[in-house]
Amino acid sequence: MDASSLHTPVMLERCLELLAPVASRDGAVVVDATLGMGGHAEQLLERHPGLTLVGIDRDPDAIRLAGERLARFGDRIRIVQHVYDELEESLEDAGVDRLDGILFDLGVSSLQLDDAERGFAYSKDAPLDMRMGREGTTAADLVATLDERELSRIMHRYGDERLASRYARAIVRERQERPILTSAHLVDVLDAATPAAARKQGHVAKRVFQALRIVVNDELGVLERAMPNALDALDDGGRIVVMAYQSLEDRIVKHALRDATTDSTPLGVPAALPEHAAPYRLLLRGAEMADEAERARNPRSIPVRLRAAERIGGGA
């Protein structure tokens, strides 16, 4: 399997543009915290011959494919298998002690979506797995063990699913007859529980699969831990670039960057205090989206929201 033929990096040129001022430094170190199949990493290394890049991924398949794709860069590429909130451990394993830039391309990767056996895609029948790595609880485990109330809660909370209660009842009723072990079986259960009028609002399983995937991989918890870790780790002038694909992720990123770019001088103090100055400045006003041409060319870019900031003081 050729990684370059499977993966079209989202907002590639914009990410490269935002990271160029730090990636072009002498002895620069940039982390691709969600390496995937290495599309962004490859272009960063190609365009900046003095750059060392640390690639982090929890998925052993991604580690293998990206390693093959990036092998020609020799010791300029350091790939480590970690969850991306384990930044300190990742840098230690990679043998680097400073950081100029970090890129996050959040959500499920093309590799995981396109591999039917991983169970991420509701359109393909496969074991109901959804783990980005190879350890821990599967989606089938959640469907088999969570009570009706908890199933409803996670579908509503992480999938914004209006039929969450109805679907939770249907799942509990079905699993009493036989276990729900495959994506096709779960889709059939959801489809049978969906009123005709609701079928016009997109695939019946889309939001449920998203919710299960988020919980299986603790995606929001990992992101909430990763953002302050990354902000603390960057040197002065360092840059962080984050692409989020759903509103819950984007809200975490937005709030973390807002806090990092807000002066913390106490209310009532007549002048800003240097020790309370914001350590970061925003590089973009709000979130950027992919342009129309990219959205037409690569449908996976349609929901992306890109945010970026630069450290202006108090570096590590």
According to the annotation, is 105 in a ligand binding site? yes
**How far is CA 242 from each of CA 137, 223, 256, 296, rounded to the nearest angstrom?**
27, 11, 11, 22
According to the annotation, is 38 in a ligand binding site? yes
According to the annotation, is 39 in a ligand binding site? yes
Q: 57, 35 in Cβ contact below 8 A?
A: yes
The number of residues in the chain equals: 316
User: Tokens representing 91?
Assistant: 């840098």
User: Tokens representing 149?
Assistant: 């109330």
- Helix (H) / strand (E) element for 29: namely strand 29-32
- Helix (H) / strand (E) element for 25: namely none
According to the annotation, is 40 in a ligand binding site? yes
Q: Identify the CA nearest to 81 among candidates 23, 135, 40.
A: 135
**How far is CA 233 from each of CA 103, 243, 309, rounded to the nearest angstrom?**
13, 19, 13
According to the annotation, is 315 in a ligand binding site? no
Mapping DSSP onto H, E and C, the string for 163-176 reads CHHHHHHHHHHHHH
According to the annotation, is 57 in a ligand binding site? yes
DSSP conformational letter for 127: B
d(Cα 91, Cα 249) in Å, to the nearest integer? 24
Pick out the residues of the known binding site for S-adenosyl-L-methionine: 38-40, 57, 84, 105, 112
Pick out the residues of the known binding site: 38-40, 57, 84, 105, 112
